[in-house]
Chains A and B, each alone.
Chain A
């Protein structure tokens, strides 16, 4: 029986880990992106009282190592009387952390949009919210797609930290196989394959989105 056979026999564990990673990642990035959009929308109004708190939130998240944030949520919050399950702590951590990054990415692209087309929207009767959804956000997404793609990969890799707070993700599965049968190389190589697969699918999606932008002349990014 080779080491690879051992890994193959533990495929259920890996599959469970894969599903956990995938579900946590998908929900987290969807929420994080939504959070990023909401923050940028709030910052549209130059006089908003939200400016300082939101800017501070973004800066704090960017300064914090992800693992430290997760430790705080999982080990720190109980001392404040809030006890989160590992999965929820992971989800909240990923959402806020990468939400701040998404906000920063979108805000950076927002600055480059011409003010003229915004005025054109107002002049044709758009309200700020409708204009944001119909005219600004689509352009931000087209323009920011390479950066968004990058951030997705970072977020995926950050899910691996969550095994430290006992989330039963891919890395947890590999770690547990490796610890039980002492096959670290094979177990972790197998897991790399899974991460690579998810990255590949995202890469293809971003490239597809690139064609969408190319057709519209958004190639100057």
Chain B
């Protein structure tokens, strides 16, 4: 399953123009579900991401680690264009997101929505739709975005609710659920899109400690089934157990990228060494 990309976060030697970065990657594009090239992003004057390169192969789990404010959530949110990067390119299964390849202008809302539907996201604060039942939260996008028939979408939704252990709550409304249950429904909602990659933005950070396990358990089982996932997390043991690749962000720079064994036992940089020491 592991397929560690060789080109680490060093800015590529090519010129910074977007089209060059695009051309560069054409050769192995098909292997990568997500390909981020020379991504930079500033909020006001503060640069939160600088020249990030990241590639995620099909079936891989990539975790993004780093201290608070290192830019890891922003990186994740750029992948589905919830944040608009200032520079760089992002491709999902070979197709560029956010910018129309022909006109070089921002994509139409419709085209962007279509690209986003190839991905799904699980948020820190769950973000279920409160006026819909558990089942309808999961069927909403398949029916109204993907145009699936209701019966088909419900059968699919139930199978995913089953997988996360929430099928018995199909008719409950979100406000009656615990945080862990809400997050498991949110995971089922993401799975129901049958996305090419699932993005997890600190999925356990808003949970009571005793509820963290049930959510991590579900994500672990998904990794065993070969789902492609990018996970921002603070759970080190989990990251070590579940990842095919770990990347570490520090002040907007991707300073380390390695398989979990190497990352946790022989970190290359002092910064990561200190980070890991503080975790225990």
Contact = CB atoms under 8 A, between A and B. Distances in A.
A134 B144 contact: yes
Interface residues of A, number: 23
Interface residues of B, number: 33
Interface string B112-140: 01101101110101111111000000001
A49 B163 CA distance: 47
B109 interface: yes
A201 interface: no
A56 interface: no
A119 B187 CA distance: 15
Contacts of A128: 109
B72 interface: no
B82 interface: yes
Interface in A101-160: 114, 116-117, 119-128, 130, 134-135, 138-139, 142
A138 B117 CA distance: 22
Question: Taking each of A116, A120, A130, A216, which has the highest tally of chain B beta carbons within 10 Å of its own beta carbon?
Answer: A120
A216 B130 contact: yes
Contact of B120 (A114, A124, A127): A124
B130 A124 contact: no
B173 interface: yes
A47 interface: no
Contacts of B113: 122, 125-127
Contacts of A215: 173
B130 A119 contact: no
B176 interface: yes
Given A119-B127, A123-B80, A216-B175, A134 B120 contact: no
A217 interface: yes
B120 A117 contact: no
The 4 closest A-B pairs by CB, nearest first: A125-B117, A217-B175, A120-B127, A116-B127
Given A117-B130, A125-B193, A217-B175, 6 more contacts: A123-B120, A125-B117, A126-B113, A138-B131, A216-B130, A217-B176
20 contacts: A116-B123, A117-B127, A117-B128, A119-B121, A119-B123, A122-B116, A123-B80, A123-B116, A124-B120, A124-B145, A124-B190, A125-B114, A126-B141, A127-B113, A134-B140, A138-B131, A139-B130, A216-B131, A217-B176, A218-B131
